[in-house]
C-alpha cells in the first residue's frame, strides 16, 4: 500500500537485498523505509558470475558498488536463498511461531571485501511433532512486509504466496504460526518441459481476444476437474492434458492453461482445506506474489467460492526494511503502521 508522502526523502540509510535462486534485487532505502533507487541482476545463488563466495562478493559489488561509492558504507540486509547452505553464509531456520524479531535475533552477518556488513535473514521451519517438517526462505520477509504495511491483518490471517514453491501460511498475533509448501510452479515447469504432456503443447504466440477466451475456459475446466476430483487423483487428472490434446477437444495452444488450472486447482483444494479452521469467521485470505499469477489464483478461487481480501505485489523491500529495524540497523525507525503516518 503506497501512502502519499509529502516530505522529502531522507538520505540513503540502508541497502536491502532480495537474493533468491535465480535473481538478485537490490533496494536503496532511506531511514523512513522509502525506496530511493532499485537495481537487479540475474545473479541468483544458482547463477553467480563465478562459483562460491567470490561469486557472492562479485555479484554484490556489481549491484551495489555505485551506491557504496556515492553514499559510503551503508548497512546492508539480505533475505532469501542467500542464507541457505548454498548461500553466502548459512543462517539456520528459526522455528514457528516466528516474526520479524525472531528473524533478526538469529540473523548471520558477513563482511564483504569492500568492508560492508551484510546481515542475512534466516528462513523459517515448521516442525510439528507428528508430521514432516516444512521450510521457507524469503517468504517470511514478504510476510513481514505485508504485516508492516497492513498491521490490522497481523492478528489473524491466512497468507498464500503463489510461485515455484507456493506457501500457505497461518499468521496469528503477528507471527507465522504454521505453513505448508506446494510445488505447483515447479510441477508445471517439469511436466511442460520434460514429460509426455509437453509434446502436444504449443505456446500461444498469438493473443487475440478469442484465444484468451479459449485459454481462460481451459484454465477454468482444469480448476473444476481439480475441485471435483478424488483424493490422490492428480496423477490421473494430468493425463487428460494428453487425451484432450490427442482427441483435439482442446487446441494445443491452451493445453498448458488446462494443466495450470489442474495444478492451481489442486493446490487451492488442499490449501483451503488445510486452512479451514484458520479461515473460519472473518479471517482474511491474502495473496502475495507476481500480479499476473495472483490474478490466475483469484479466478481459480472464484470457481471454489472464495474471494481473497487483498492482493499484494512485491512486499520484500518493506519486509527487509522491517528486518533491518528489528536488527537495530536503522536509527530512526518509522511507525510500523504506515497508514497512520501524517
The radius of gyration of the chain's CA atoms, rounded to the nearest angstrom, is 21
Nearest to 293 by CA among 159, 123, 163: 163
What minimum distance in Å lies between the beta carbon of 84 and its own copies? 9
- Given 23, 112, 270, 314, the residue binding its own copies (CB under 8 A): 270
What minimum distance in Å lies between the beta carbon of 234 and its own copies? 5
- Given 49, 229, 284, 333, the residue binding its own copies (CB under 8 A): 229
What minimum distance in Å lies between the beta carbon of 143 and its own copies? 18
Residues 101-140 that bind its own copies (CB under 8 A): 125, 127, 132-135
SS3 for 184? helix
Q: What does the angle CA 82 – CA 88 – CA 93 come to, to the nearest 5 degrees? A: 55
Contact region for its own copies (CB under 8 A) — 72-80, 98-106, 141-149, 178-186?
178-186
CB atoms within 10 A of CB 14: 22
What minimum distance in Å lies between the beta carbon of 206 and its own copies? 25
Q: Residues with Cβ < 8 Å from 118, sequence gap 6 or more?
A: 17, 60, 76, 77, 78, 88, 109, 110, 111, 112
Q: What is the grid cell recorded at 94?
A: 528459526
Q: What does the angle CA 11 – CA 80 – CA 88 come to, to the nearest 5 degrees? A: 90
How far is Cα 181 from Cα 167, in angstroms, rounded to an integer? 5
Question: In this structure, are residues 332 and 153 in contact, taking their beta carbons and an 8 Å threshold?
Answer: no
Closest to its own copies by CB, 38 or 193: 193
Closest to its own copies by CB, 47 or 58: 47
- CB-count exposure of residue 243 (10 Å: 0-12, 13-18, 19+): exposed
Contact region for its own copies (CB under 8 A) — 102-110, 227-235, 294-302, 311-319?
227-235
What minimum distance in Å lies between the beta carbon of 225 and its own copies? 7
Question: In this structure, are residues 27 and 16 in contact, taking their beta carbons and an 8 Å threshold?
Answer: yes
Q: With left for phi above 0 and alpha for psi between -120 and 50, is residue 201 left, alpha or beta?
A: beta
What minimum distance in Å lies between the beta carbon of 227 and its own copies? 9
Residues 39-68 that bind its own copies (CB under 8 A): none
Closest to its own copies by CB, 233 or 337: 233
Closest to its own copies by CB, 36 or 234: 234
269 lies in the binding site for its own copies (CB under 8 A): yes
Question: In this structure, are residues 19 and 42 in contact, taking their beta carbons and an 8 Å threshold?
Answer: no
- CB-count exposure of residue 24 (10 Å: 0-12, 13-18, 19+): buried
234 lies in the binding site for its own copies (CB under 8 A): yes
Residue 111, beta-bridge partner list: 117
238 lies in the binding site for its own copies (CB under 8 A): yes
Binding mask 181-210 for its own copies (x = CB under 8 A): xxxx-xx--xx-xxxx--------------
Residues 141-160 that bind its own copies (CB under 8 A): none
CB atoms within 10 A of CB 254: 27
- Given 102, 144, 170, 225, the residue binding its own copies (CB under 8 A): 225
SS3 for 38? strand
What minimum distance in Å lies between the beta carbon of 168 and its own copies? 8
What minimum distance in Å lies between the beta carbon of 129 and its own copies? 13
Closest to its own copies by CB, 240 or 325: 240
Size of the site for its own copies (CB under 8 A): 49
Residues that bind its own copies (CB under 8 A): 125, 127, 132-135, 165, 180-184, 186-187, 190-191, 193-196, 225-226, 229-236, 238-240, 242-244, 246-247, 249, 263, 265-271, 273-274
Amino acid at each position: 500500500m503506497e501512502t502519499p508522502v509529502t516530505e522529502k526523502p531522507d538520505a540513503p540509510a540502508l541497502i536491502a537485498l532480495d537474493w533468491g535462486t535465480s535473481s538478485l534485487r537490490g533496494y536503496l532505502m532511506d531511514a523512513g523505509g522509502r525506496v530511493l533507487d532499485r537495481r537487479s541482476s540475474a545473479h541468483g545463488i544458482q547463477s553467480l558470475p563465478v562459483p562460491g563466495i567470490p561469486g557472492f562478493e562479485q555479484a554484490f559489488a556489481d549491484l551495489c558498488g555505485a551506491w557504496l561509492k556515492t553514499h559510503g558504507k551503508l548497512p546492508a540486509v539480505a533475505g532469501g536463498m542467500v542464507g541457505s547452505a548454498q548461500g553466502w553464509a548459512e543462517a539456520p531456520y528459526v522455528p514457528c511461531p516466528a516474526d520479524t524479531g525472531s528473524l533478526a535475533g538469529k540473523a548471520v552477518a558477513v563482511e564483504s571485501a569492500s568492508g560492508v556488513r551484510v546481515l542475512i535473514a534466516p528462513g523459517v521451519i515448521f516442525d510439528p511433532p507428528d508430521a514432516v517438517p516444512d521450510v521457507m526462505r524469503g517468504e517470511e520477509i514478504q510476510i513481514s512486509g505485508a504485516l508492516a504495511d497492513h498491521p490490522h491483518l497481523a492478528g489473524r490471517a491466512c497468507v498464500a504466496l503463489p510461485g515455484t514453491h507456493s506457501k500457505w501460511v497461518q499468521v496469528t498475533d503477528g507471527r507465522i504460526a504454521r505453513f505448508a509448501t506446494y510445488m505447483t510452479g515447479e510441477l508445471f515447469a517439469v511436466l511442460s518441459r520434460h514429460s509426455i504432456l509437453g509434446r502436444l503443447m504449443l505456446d500461444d504466440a498469438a493473443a487475440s481476444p478469442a484465444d484468451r477466451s479459449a485459454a481462460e475456459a481451459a484454465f477454468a475446466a482444469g480448476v473444476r476437474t481439480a475441485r471435483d476430483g478424488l483424493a490422490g487423483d492428480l496423477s490421473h487428472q494430468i493425463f487428460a492434458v494428453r487425451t484432450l490434446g490427442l482427441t483435439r477437444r482442446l487446441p494445443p495452444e491452451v493445453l498448458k492453461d488446462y494443466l495450470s488450472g489442474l495444478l492451481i486447482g489442486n493446490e487451492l483444494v488442499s490449501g483451503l482445506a488445510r486452512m479451514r479452521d484458520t479461515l473460519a469467521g472473518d479471517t482474511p485470505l491474502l495473496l502475495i506474489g507476481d500480479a499476473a499469477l495472483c490474478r490466475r489464483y483469484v479466478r481459480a478461487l472464484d470457481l471454489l467460492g472464495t474471494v481473497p481480501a487483498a492482493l499484494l505485489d512485491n512486499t520484500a523491500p518493506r519486509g527487509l526494511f522491517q528486518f533491518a529495524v528489528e536488527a537495530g540497523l536503522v536509527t530512526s525507525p518509522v511507525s510500523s503502521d504506515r497508514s497512520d503516518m501524517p
